[in-house]
Amino acid sequence: MNNLLETPIEYLKGVGPARGELLRKELGIHKYADLLSLFPNRYIDRTRYYRINELINNGSEVQVVGKVIHLKTVGEKRTRLVATFTDGTGDMELVWFQGQKWIRENIKLNQPYVIFGKTTAFNGVFNMAHPEMEPLAEHEASLRSAMQPVYPSTEKLTQRGITNKVMSKMMQQLFMETQALFSEALPQPLINELSLLPKNVALFNIHFPKSQDLLTKAQFRLKFEELFFIQLQLITKNLIRKHKIKGHPFGSVGSYFTDFYQNHLPFELTNAQKRVLKEIRNDLGQPAQMNRLLQGDVGSGKTIVALMCMLLALDNGFQACLMAPTEILANQHYLGLSELAEPLGINIKILTGSTKTAERKIIHEALQSGELHIIIGTHALLEDKVQFANLGLAIIDEQHRFGVEQRSKLWRKNDIPPHVLVMTATPIPRTLAMSLYGDLDISVIDELPPGRKPIQTVHRYDSNRLKVWKFLKDEIALGRQVYIVYPLIQESEKMDYKDLMDGYESISRDFPLPQYSVSIVHGKMKPAEKDSEMTRFAANKTNIMVATTVIEVGVNVPNASVMVIESAERFGLSQLHQLRGRVGRGADQSYCILMTGEKLSNDTKTRIETMCRTNDGFEIAEVDLKLRGPGDIMGTQQSGVLNLQIADIVKDKEILTLARQYAIALLKADPGMIAPENTALRNAYIEMTKKKNIWNYIS
């Protein structure tokens, strides 16, 4: 049966080469299996037949049974064909602007038809333009269900006559040719345990639902199957890596780690940091490559965990590297880690695009000889010239900014690949983490170090500006510093630059010298200018930093206690949260003030309300995911995993969690899927790994 689904689409009766080519280009439908997995976007309830005297002028779609009793052409230049349609309770008009000749030749007067379309009333008479029409006898005999599917389409398909009705006809033809005998891919015990509909019944009812109840069950069954196979793939990948990809076991905890832990820890570790360290140490002790994602909100103390992992590498005779996406971030890591590592006598260096040639040569040699223990850097670490004596641990910060290709360059610098720790301060909602990083082990630092006060966030309209400025002056009088951030939207850099400069000028007027001093940082400045302004601010030589989002990542000024975000309605939620994380790094109470205009959309109101209500990055990420959908967050289009056909990882969170639980349980009991009841599953899985689209092989 499955072979039949491999048939090229043009061989389906009613398709042919021209339509086949269109379906391929517009919807990626190459063969029967692709058409079968074109799931409807929505359904129209066709259970109800209206009488003409019941029609209401609300623009809704209705179906009526009646007869055409008269046809005429109206107008001179732009003609239209008008039919009088009656059902005994009243008359209405059907109108065609195109295809008049065909309609005139094919419509039969005084024969019962079912018409369907949008109605409008004009001078008290209802009319329907370009209705769907079929003879009543045909309508009653067809496979059509009460809930009529509406399929995804494109403008080109509609223009070329492949309407929803035509798609439905093709689907009926497909079910007739295949007799709906689709092979089952899920194990019977699993189907029984979850009371899932059989595959044939589910596929039939997704395209031709017999009732709302059967449609709901069919959707659940197919969503579960799609997510289950994705989870199987991710978990298997993880298991294979643990068995096949060798790693250096870090067997000993030596003097570097112990000395640091006992004598040089700047503060007591939180319970979350201890738990995460334990998970990582456990991985590093295995002879398999570690692949772990470390998530922690801004300021949760990921850097110290990273350093302690590096010290374990050093204790076992290996080197470690930390790669960051920007020079600012690399520099910040370098300064922070050098300070912590100084009492241990560790050799630590930084390598970025602006490292001088002479310095580079020294670094390259020291890395190759092994006298350099830790290297921090940007993409510069990936260059072929950079060779290690023995790299044991690679830490990657904010990894979604690096491509897979780039990361794998690091692995190839060793015979046995280094252990990998990926860090992110972008909280990833659980559902997204399960789908995008389901093959990585995940650790989460979910508490802030003691003594940190939660940042107070408030929303103020532009009309309250005078009060906000007074508050800033009070904070500055207490010796604190302030950020004022302006949005940057690429399309209109001129406008953004103007906003920023206008803002800078009015702030300089309202906070005049010599009492106040204002810094400015934006993307048009040279790196050296930027650095000098940042340094002046960090050294408390200026009170206010006016900036674009350049400062979003990697600026650490503990004395800055207020973040004002101008035009906050122009920022996304995760960006607002990242910006807010620039304050609250010292012991003082910190504030974030969101400034907006008076007119706000509903989404903006939700974003602002969420920011004022919670500081929890994971909760914020969940709201962001609901607002923006999975595609936009983390640029997940690149992942390929989320090319879902029927499931939606936001709306179907519960099904995803269930699918993951069952996939884990199944692979625990039968890692190779070789038990007799898993034969079909194994075959479908093997097919799936060859192809991109799940439904091509599940069917």
Question: What is the token pair recorded at 490?
Answer: 């690429």
Q: Note the pLDDT of residue 634.
A: 46
Question: Residue 387's pLDDT is what?
Answer: 93
β-strand pairing of 91-96 with 112-122: unpaired
**Cα–Cα dist 251/249, whole Å:** 6
CB-facing half-sphere around the CA of 283: CA atoms within 13 A: 26
Q: Measured between alpha carbons, how far is 380 from 203 in angstroms, rounded to an integer?
A: 52
- Identify the pLDDT of residue 495: 58
Cα separation, 432 vs 228, whole angstroms: 15
In the block, which residue shows the tokens 């029967």? 32
In this prediction, residue 618 carries a pLDDT of 82
- Which CA distances in Å does 139 have to 84, 94, 136, 211, 224? 21, 19, 5, 18, 33
User: Cβ distance 621 to 428 under 8 Å?
Assistant: yes
546, containing H or E segment = strand 544-547
CATH superfamily of 47-143: Nucleic acid-binding proteins (2.40.50.140)
Closest of 683, 680, 682 to residue 671, by C-alpha: 682
Residue ranges of the chain with pLDDT lower than 50?
490-491, 633-641, 697-699
Q: What is the pLDDT of residues 446-469, one digit of tens each?
A: 887 777 788 999 999 999 999 999
* Nearest-angstrom CA–CA distance, 86 and 66: 5
pLDDT digits (tens, 9 = 90+) for 313-343: 999 999 999 999 888 788 889 988 999 999 9
Distances (CA, A) of 683 to 71, 234, 500, 678, 686: 59, 17, 60, 9, 5
Asked whether the beta carbons of 424 and 398 are under 8 A apart, the reply is yes
CA 310 to CA 334: how far, in whole Å? 13
Give me the amino acid identity at 385.
Answer: K
Burial class (CB in 10 A: 0-12, 13-18, 19+), 182: buried
Q: Which two tokens stand for residue 248?
A: 């250096």
Domain boundaries, the chain: 1-43+144-175, 47-143, 199-239+647-698, 255-445, 456-614
- Which pLDDT does position 143 carry in this prediction? 62
Count Cβ neighbours within 10 Å for each residue of 81-96 and write b for 16 or more, e otherwise: bbbbbbbeebebbbbb
| DSSP strand pairing (291-296 vs 441-445) | parallel
Q: Please state whether beta strands 291-296 and 61-74 pair in parallel, antiparallel, or not at all (unpaired).
A: unpaired
Nearest Cα to 82, choosing from 130, 124, 135? 130
Q: CATH number of the domain at 456-614, please?
A: 3.40.50.300
Letter for the amino acid at 104?
A: R
Whether residue 294 contacts residue 422, with contact meaning beta carbons closer than 8 Å, is answered with: yes
* CATH code for the part of the protein at 255-445: 3.40.50.300
User: Which structure tokens are listed for 247?
Assistant: 């790693």
Torsion of CA 381, 384, 390, 396, to 10 degrees: 30
Common-topology check for domains 47-143 and 456-614: no
